[in-house]
A and B are shown apart, each in its own frame.
Chain A
């Protein structure tokens, strides 16, 4: 079943259109930066964006900082929100289940498919950003190594490892979103409803983060540690928030995937 879902994902023109759209924003930003040479002042704007004018190899991270807060979660909400509700609306869910495909197996296959989409999207963004960074933006430190956020310098190898960790961390954050959307997809009748419910949770979480009165809730909000990947580029690495982020996302995945399964396993399929 996983293979079937992957075929459907990779053959769908929409998958690639969505990835292209996600990729378009960092491309636009890179071009604008290259033309104007006007970066945000250090400490403002998306993470790493001020640093890329001197070191283009940091641009994949800047690009990640650009797509992670909004673009990617929206795409994941829509893709995962469609997983069950979309098949139900299309009428294919009943034919999938009478093949028979076990309900848990179907949920796992759907989650794997959404994660494949996330990995593809993040890799496409990272690879385009890397080349754009090298070609269009600063290449000052190619020989001496990149500069960490803390100001010390990193070797190219260190930078590569930390970039890979950051990409992995971003993928895990999106897995949390995917699990939430998958749960709503088993509850809602329409794929749009599932996607909107997921986005509502993410927006509420972002809003509550800015509210001092909601301080007690902060450590449990799904978007709380999303940008903690920046800490991977401090010297030494500041693990605290990254580790909390990993644990929090893992908890979201377990809870919401469990809820999705509990709901779907005994659901009457009437569509």
Chain B
């Protein structure tokens, strides 16, 4: 659905995106991750023909962009760096205008398309207030409705849950999963790892304009070969398993990491040895660990910090902003 080869964008001497090889397959929910300023938005804009690449090529829906924009873009819904609308018009009037701009879109069915898109994002009961008076959360929903207007085959979403409260985030995630089940490929860029972790099937990580990782989320999060055991009898376990490489988790004195690929067998062994087991599970790396490892390798240290900062900001947003319904 999306395929870039050597995609590069330079602003003067600064390379915003270098040599990017993205592959998004039909049916994916592709999470495009990266710290703020890493080139996510520039990449999204190049895919949509808003920014022209310095070199390299991009294909969307199998056709070259921006050359085939007039055939490709009507089948793509997008939200780029936050929603935007004509502030003096109502949400409904805005969608009608945007629908009318789409080439080949007639008056016939416009009302249903607009109504359907508003319903999808939970704005069906929206009144005739101008968008100027909308809360950030409502604007975000309206932006998403705008992206869904033409029942796109591909959704390109930049930070789609920005400014939403927890309920709103949940609603949007459910909506995206439902759309994906119905066959829509989704490319979502975000710096919120949790959001991506709960939704995506594949991730690409960009740092300083370069793609540092692109993989199925399942295989990334494959077992590490260790089993995490929580027990009050830490000393007993160490006695018999230290030789196997068992160690106490640095973060929690009641948890141990024991090398093993067979948690059930390990559990039976422990119980036979008279060790009380409170919890036991295969250890998997979190997406955060994976991404931090990928972005800190071979780069200076501020990438990790900027992730933390942006996460904090996002949390602050959703706590302080009310979402109107």
Q: Which residues of A are interface residues toward B (Cβ below 8 A)?
A: 1, 3-4, 7-8, 11-13, 90-92, 94-102, 266, 268-270
Contact B86 A269, beta carbon cutoff 8 Å: no
Q: Which of A7, A90, A91, A266 contacts B52 (CB 8 A)?
A: A266
Out of B49, B81, B86, B146, name the residue touching A8 (CB < 8 Å): B86
Given contacts A1-B101, A95-B146, A268-B52, contact A13 B76 (CB under 8 A): no
Measured between beta carbons, the chain B residues less than 8 angstroms from A98 are: 48-50, 73, 76, 78, 80
- Given the known inter-chain contacts A4-B100, A269-B45, A270-B45, please indicate yes or no for A97 contacting B50, CB distance below 8 A: yes
Q: How far is the CA of A8 from the CA of B88 in the complex (A)?
A: 10
Chain B, 72-88, CB within 8 A of any chain A CB: 73-74, 76, 78, 80-88
B residues adjacent to A (C-beta < 8 A): 45, 48-52, 69-70, 73-74, 76, 78, 80-89, 97-98, 100-103, 146
- Residues of B close to A268: CB separation below 8 A: 45, 50-52
- Pick the contact of B49 from A92, A95, A100 — CB < 8 Å? A100
Say which residue of B78, B86, B100 sits within 8 Å of A92 (CB atoms).
Answer: B86
User: Closest Cβ of chain A: how far from B46's Cβ, in Å?
Assistant: 9
Closest Cβ neighbor of B83 among chain A residues = A91
Q: Which residues of A contact B76 (CB under 8 A)?
A: 98
Nearest Cβ distance between residue A89 and chain B, in whole angstroms? 10
Given the contacts A98-B48, A98-B78, A268-B51, A3 and B86 also touching, CB distance less than 8 Å: no
User: Is A13 touching B88 in the complex (CB atoms < 8 A)?
Assistant: yes
Give the number of residue pairs across the A-B interface with Cβ within 8 Å.
Answer: 70
Q: How far is the CB of A92 from chain B (nearest CB, A)?
A: 5
New contact pairs (12) apart from A97-B50, A269-B45, A270-B45, CB-CB < 8 Å = A4-B100, A8-B86, A11-B89, A90-B84, A91-B81, A94-B81, A95-B78, A96-B101, A100-B74, A101-B103, A268-B45, A268-B51
Q: Is A12 in contact with B97, judged by CB distance below 8 angstroms?
A: no
Residues in B with CB closer than 8 Å to A92 are: 84-86
B45 touches A8 (CB 8 A): no
Q: Is the CB of B97 within 8 A of A4?
A: yes
| Bound-complex Cα distance A101 to B48 (A) | 12
Asked, given contacts A98-B73, A99-B102, A100-B69, whether A269 binds B50 with beta carbons under 8 Å apart, the answer is yes
Given the complex, which residues of A lie within 8 Å of B70, measured CB to CB? 100, 102
Contact assessment for B103 and A99 in the assembled complex, using a CB-CB cutoff below 8 Å: yes
Q: Give Cα A220–Cα B74 distance, bound, in whole angstroms.
A: 45
Bound together, the chains give a CA A51 to CA B82 distance in angstroms of 58
Find chain B residues with CB under 8 A from A99 CB: 73-74, 98, 101-103
Contact sample, A vs B, 24 pairs, CB 8 Å cutoff: A4-B100, A4-B101, A7-B97, A7-B100, A8-B86, A12-B88, A90-B87, A91-B81, A91-B82, A94-B81, A95-B84, A95-B98, A98-B49, A98-B50, A98-B78, A98-B80, A99-B74, A99-B101, A99-B103, A100-B49, A100-B103, A266-B52, A268-B45, A269-B45
**Contact of A94 with B50 in the complex, beta carbons under 8 Å:** yes
Cβ-defined contact, B86 with A90, below 8 A: yes
Which residue from B84, B101, B103 sits with its C-beta under 8 Å from A91?
A: B84
Q: How far is the CB of A116 from chain B (nearest CB, A)?
A: 17
